[in-house]
Amino acid sequence: MFYKPLVTMAKRSSLFLRLSALLQVNSGVLSVCTAFLSGEPATRLRSQELQQLIAALLEFMAVCKRAIRVHFRLIGEEDQDFHTQLVNGFQSLTAELSHYIPAILAEL
Amino acid sequence: MARNDGVWSKDHVISLRKICPMVSSEITAEASAAEVEGYGSSKLTVDSAVKYLQLANRLFSQAELFHFCANILELVIPVHKSRRAYGQLAKCHTMLTDIYESILEQESSPIPFTDATYYRVGFYGERFGKLDRKEYVYREPRDVRLGDIMEKLSHIYESRMDDNHTLHIIPDSRQVKADELQPGVCYLQITAVDPVMEDEDLGSRRERIFSLSTGTVRARVFDRFLFDTPFTKNGKTQGGLEDQWKRRTVLQTEGSFPALVNRLLVMKSESLEFSPVENAIGMIETRTAALRNELEEPRSSEGDQLPRLQSLQRILQGSVAVQVSCLLGFLTKFLHIFN
């Protein structure tokens, strides 16, 4: 009877710690777009590099989408809010990335 | 060992060689020749070999090197089988159960297991004598940090300096041009290095995540080590994403760890460079691989989904959660106000 709140608390605290540690990661995908895809990327990157970068970003977002679906199947009631945040975050990220890769909206 | 013992096949010898590369074909051939000639034989019997293997099993178990234990017991089992020693066989299989459970526990831990830490140490300066301009890889206990080994080696080598020589530690992993160093100063360059897995693709631009490559039971015998050095073309170490290059240096040692000595000479050093965009693509591919790895984990079919959920949440949070960027914005604002 008592183990569930404890598990949830432990999970929350570990997530909080992880959140603190992951600042750099989230800024990663958008920073990459700003650094390499803003302006005229074709003048700075080779065609193959550009294609590889876009393919990597599209694949990343596709796997994220799949992971969010799996997440929904795994969670209980107490994680619904967190899931909503993830969905909103994913949508915002897609919208941001679409400024650099318009095709992303059709792909996802 | 007598030829007619017949409990171990070639595969067993190959398996033993993976744990202890010193059991090379040359040594085996030499021992066999000595035996045929009737002198110099090792006097190693099956029984004494089993005793050594059991001792090795105990020591590996103490060191939490369970993958070695499993391989060692697989060598002991054929002996017990051939002698119909069912009690010993039952004991071995019970131990194997514990060992594989320990391996599972080790591999599912969010903190990757390390049995040792490795450091590249370069010596530059005439006071070092034979060590001058030589590089070694040191194997240290797993709780030894870079600062610890720097302190330890400084202490050892400072005492060897005289009035005309001082000791200086090179704090980064840049390529040292020995001819450009100051005379009268002895330099130690100490860099943390990672052991390289046998089947690892060193040309991969992906970031190295040790836990991803330890999905299967592996022997931890290493003779190659690597370290990455960030650099920019304008001379600074760190730059923006669009300027950030990375040099990967791979060192080949004379012999392999674990060994009877705690340092091995670097025989060969090779490096390759990754451009900023390659690094960026690598970073994205690493995140994708981590997420996909989590989605395709075999444990997904098992009952307890909590570890999987936690792991998934951790990676998703780092990938798509907007509040992280908001938090970053808040911290920037906070720092701005108080500056």
Residue B147 is predicted with a pLDDT of 94
**What's the start-to-end Cα distance of chain B, in Å?**
76
List of chain B residues whose C-beta atoms are within 8 Å of the C-beta of residue A71: 309, 312-313, 316
- One pLDDT digit (tens) per residue for chain B, 339 residues: 554 467 888 888 888 877 777 666 555 555 555 555 555 555 678 888 899 999 999 999 998 889 889 999 999 999 999 999 999 999 999 999 999 999 988 887 777 778 899 999 999 998 899 999 999 999 999 899 999 999 999 999 998 888 888 999 998 888 888 888 888 899 999 999 999 987 777 777 666 654 444 444 466 789 999 999 988 988 777 778 888 999 999 999 998 888 888 999 999 999 999 999 999 999 899 888 888 888 886 654 555 667 677 777 877 777 765 444 444 444 444 444 444
Across the interface, do B319 and A23 touch by the CB < 8 Å criterion?
no
Query: What is the per-residue DSSP string for A1-52?
Result: --HHHHHHHHHHHHHHHHHHHTHHHHHHHHHHHHHHHSS-HHHHS-HHHHHH
Residue B27 is predicted with a pLDDT of 56
Measured between beta carbons, the chain B residues lying within 8 angstroms of A63 are 288, 291-292, 295
Q: With H, G, I as helix, E, B as strand and everything else as coil, classify residue B29.
A: helix
Task: Pinpoint the residues of chain B covered by CATH 1.25.40.
Answer: 3-108
SS3 call for B143 = coil
User: Residue B20 and residue B180: Cα distance in Å, rounded?
Assistant: 41
A vs B: CB pairs below 8 A: 129
Question: Does the structure show a pLDDT above 50 at A11?
Answer: no
Q: d(Cα A99, Cα A85) in Å, to the nearest integer? A: 22
In this prediction, residue B302 carries a pLDDT of: 52
Contact A53 B280 (CB under 8 A): yes
Which CATH number fits the domain B3-108, given the four candidates 1.25.40, 1.20.140, 1.10.287, 3.30.70?
A: 1.25.40
pLDDT digit string, tens, across residues B88-126: 999 999 999 999 999 988 887 777 778 899 999 999 998
Beta bridge partners of B248: B228, B272
φ, ψ for residue B183, nearest 5 deg = -70, 150
Burial of B168 (0-12, 13-18, 19+ CB in 10 A): middle
**C-alpha radius of gyration, chain A, whole number:** 17
State how far the Cα of B73 lies from the Cα of B16, in Å rounded to an integer.
Answer: 11
- With an 8 Å Cβ cutoff, is B276 touching chain A? yes
Disruptive mutation site among B292, B314, B319 for chain A (greatest number of A CBs within 10 Å): B319
DSSP per residue over B246-272, as a string? EEEEEEEEEEEES-SSSEEEEEEEEEE
Distances in Å between the Cα of B219 and the Cα atoms of B34, B67, B213 are: 30, 6, 13
Q: Which of A55-59, A68-72, B29-33 has the highest mean pLDDT?
A: A55-59
> What CATH architecture does domain A3-107 belong to?
Up-down Bundle (1.20)
Mean pLDDT of A54-77: 89
Q: DSSP character for B126?
A: G
Closest-CA distance, B248 to chain A, in angstroms, reads: 20
pLDDT at B25: 58
Residues A86, B291: C-beta atoms closer than 8 Å: no
Residue B12 pLDDT: 84
Whole-angstrom Cα distance, residue B240 to residue A28? 12
Residues from chain B that touch A11, judged by Cβ atoms under 8 A, are 306, 310
Q: What is the mean pLDDT of residues A31-57?
A: 88
- The pTM is what? 0.69
CA distance B328 to chain A (A): 7
Neighbours of B290 (CB within 10 A): 20
Quick one: pLDDT at residue B337? 45
Q: Using the beta-carbon criterion (under 8 Å), do B321 and A26 form an inter-chain contact? A: yes
Element containing residue B30 per DSSP (H, E): helix B25-36
* Test mutation, A24, A26, A65, chain B, max B CBs within 10 A: A26
Residue B297 burial (10 A CB sphere; 0-12, 13-18, 19+): middle
